[in-house]
Amino acid sequence: MTRTTVNHLGDHVGETVNLEGWLSNRRSSKKLHFLLLRDGSGTVQCVVSREKFGDEAFEPLGHIPYESSLTIEGVVKADARAQGGYELEATDVRVISEAQEYPISNKDHGPDFLLSHRHLWLRSRKQVALMRIRDEVLRAIRGFMHDREFLCIDAPIFTPNACEGTSTLFEVNYFDDETAFLTQSGQLYMEAAAMAYGKAYCLGPTFRAEKSKTRRHLTEFWMWEPEMAHSDLDDVMDLAEDALRTIVEAVLTNRGEDLEVLKRDIEALERVREPFPRISYTEAVEKMHEKGHEFEWGGDFGARDEALISSLYPQPVLIHRYPQEVKAFYMKRDPQDDRLALGVDVLAPEGYGEVIGGGQREDDLDLLQGRLRAHGLSEEAFAWYLDLRRYGSVPHGGFGLGIERTVCWIAGIEHVRECIPFPRMLYRIYP
């Protein structure tokens, strides 16, 4: 007896196989039951005939509750009437565990209900497709890093102090009377890693305790942070553009069916193959003025400003050289213009907003010490970070990419909460 999964049925036409899954739906008539079996790899219609099973075996199969776990044995048939092109002519149906009344139906549900049932919601077709795309994005990133000879160097989750000194962090008690924080970014550690290995990256969860309440925010999200020694802002921008192009290409190539399930506009994604526009902060401000949008040079972009700029391009847009006041202390200043920092943000198209933030780091010890003081940060806490400038400092840079925002954009989803298996948000930490 061949044990297989729904996605491989095409290799077994005419054979008798065994499938293990859950009952996702059922349609019945007097002579036939159509049992829809979902096994994680796909869903297949299994035909149960009264004639073959006999009345006694046939009747109860019309009453199996939804989401009961089943094994079904049957002959694989290619059939144009079946969704997916194949169906199983059942010869045996065994119930592993009969489900209680399943709360999630095929009809609409509200976000509160679905989020409270996230552990079950993950079973639904759209969520499975989305998780596959998330997996593909992560796989593409790791493959891209491997191809570019970056080393994966994981950053710590517990940190002794704020990385950037700006965001609100989650505090945790760290033995006795010591306080630790959940990491907000692995970047500073990646700078150490880049000095050790040349090219390094981390990919893991990060935490922000800000009380943000929008479709783009989670309190726990995953971030990919590559960092390169001997690199400048242009190298960082090249890496960011190549990375996004590679990720989108991988999803288009390998997850077409899932994009279809999500009804994603494929043409919008295909435009990512074209070069990404790169404009300076100052040019972006000028463009806003041209559009009659009020904005004063020197401030950071708000949601509306970002939306306006990204709406001008079908590709992700790179905005570089921001006023240094709005950027973190470790950003290197532009040697051409002292008011500017060599930072870059990448805005995803279609209104999805910032997916990447990064830039070139300050590599001069004296300047960095000055910036720490100016930002009111303790030199003692950052002593190890300053060491990186004491012992063989080089120009270097990198960026952070928000995994869920990237998945959200590529999959065309409304809210990042669906783009992580178990979202953590303001006022929601269950299940």
According to CB under 7 A, which one of 118, 134, 216, 255 is a site residue for RNA? 216
Binding to RNA by CB under 7 A, coded x per residue (else -) over 362-401, reads: --------------------------------------xx
Q: Site map for RNA, 158-197, x if CB under 7 A? A: --------xx-----------------x------------
Footprint on residues 50-69 left by RNA (CB under 7 A): 62-63, 65-66
**Cα→Cα distances 376→181, 326, 379, 380, 384, Å:** 19, 15, 9, 12, 17
Closest distance to RNA from the beta carbon of 336 (Å)? 23
- Provide the pairing of β-strand 16-28 with 2-3: parallel
Distance (Å, whole) CA 342 – CA 274: 24
The reply on whether position 294 binds RNA by CB under 7 A is no
Residues 62-101 as x/- pattern, contact with RNA by CB under 7 A: xx-xx------------x-xxx---x-x-----------x
CA–centroid distance for 377 within its chain? 32
Among 51, 105, 173, 292, binds RNA (CB under 7 A): 105
Of 386, 361, 360, 355, give the one whose Cα is nearest residue 373.
386
Q: Which is nearer to RNA, 16 or 254 (CB)?
A: 16
Residue 291 binds RNA (CB under 7 A)? no
Answer for which of 14, 110, 292, 335 binds RNA (CB under 7 A) is 110
Q: Please report how many Cα atoms fall inside a 13 Å half-sphere around the Cα of residue 283, on the Cβ side.
A: 10
Of 371, 402, 374, nearest to 385 by C-alpha is: 371
Given 30, 177, 296, 376, the residue binding RNA (CB under 7 A): 30
Residue 364 amino acid letter: D
Q: Which stretch binds RNA (CB under 7 A): 217-225, 230-238, 250-258, 389-397?
A: 217-225
Question: C-beta of 134: minimal distance to RNA in Å?
Answer: 13
Q: Which is nearer to RNA, 220 or 254 (CB)?
A: 220
Q: Which is nearer to RNA, 229 or 355 (CB)?
A: 355
Q: Of 212-220, 255-263, 273-281, 311-319, which part binds RNA (CB under 7 A)?
A: 212-220
Q: How far is the CB of 6 from RNA (least distance, A)?
A: 14
Q: Contact between 38 and RNA (CB under 7 A)?
A: no
Instruction: Count the residues of the shown chain that bind RNA, applying the rule CB under 7 A.
Output: 72
Q: How far is the CB of 71 from RNA (least distance, A)?
A: 20
Tell me the one-letter amino acid at 15: E
Residues between 307 and 346 that touch RNA (CB under 7 A): 326
- Parallel, antiparallel, or unpaired for β 317-323 and 199-207? unpaired
Under the criterion CB under 7 A, does residue 143 sit at the interface with RNA? no
| Rg of the chain on CA atoms, in Å | 26
Asked if residue 2 binds RNA (CB under 7 A), the reply is no
**Residue whose entry in the numeric block shows the structure tokens 């003081």:** 373
DSSP 8-state secondary structure symbol assigned to residue 348: E
Helix, strand or coil, per DSSP, at residue 236: helix
- Measured CA to CA, the distance from residue 122 to residue 138 in angstroms comes to 18
Beta bridge partner(s), residue 72: 19, 93
Q: Looking at 258, 306, 362, 363, which residue binds RNA (CB under 7 A)?
A: 306
Bridge partners for 173 per DSSP: 179
- Under rule CB under 7 A, residue 13 binds RNA: no
State the burial class of residue 403 (Cβ atoms within 10 Å of its Cβ: 0-12, 13-18, 19+): buried
Q: Which of 45, 231, 310, 324 binds RNA (CB under 7 A)?
A: 45
355 in contact with RNA (CB under 7 A): yes
* Shortest spacing between CB 339 and RNA, in angstroms: 17
Cα–Cα distance for residue pair 37/68, rounded to 1 Å: 10
- What residues have CB less than 8 Å from 322, skipping those under 6 apart? 281, 300, 340, 341, 343, 345
349 vs 357, beta carbon nearer RNA: 357
List the end-to-end C-alpha distance of the chain, in Å, as a whole number.
38
Residues 232-271 that bind RNA (CB under 7 A): none
Nearer to RNA, 174 or 328 (CB): 328
**Number of H helices and number of E strands within the chain?**
14, 18
d(CA 188, CA 195): 11
Residue 146 or 211 having the CB closest to RNA: 211
Cα–Cα distance, 7 to 312 (Å, whole number) = 41
The reply on whether position 293 binds RNA by CB under 7 A is: no
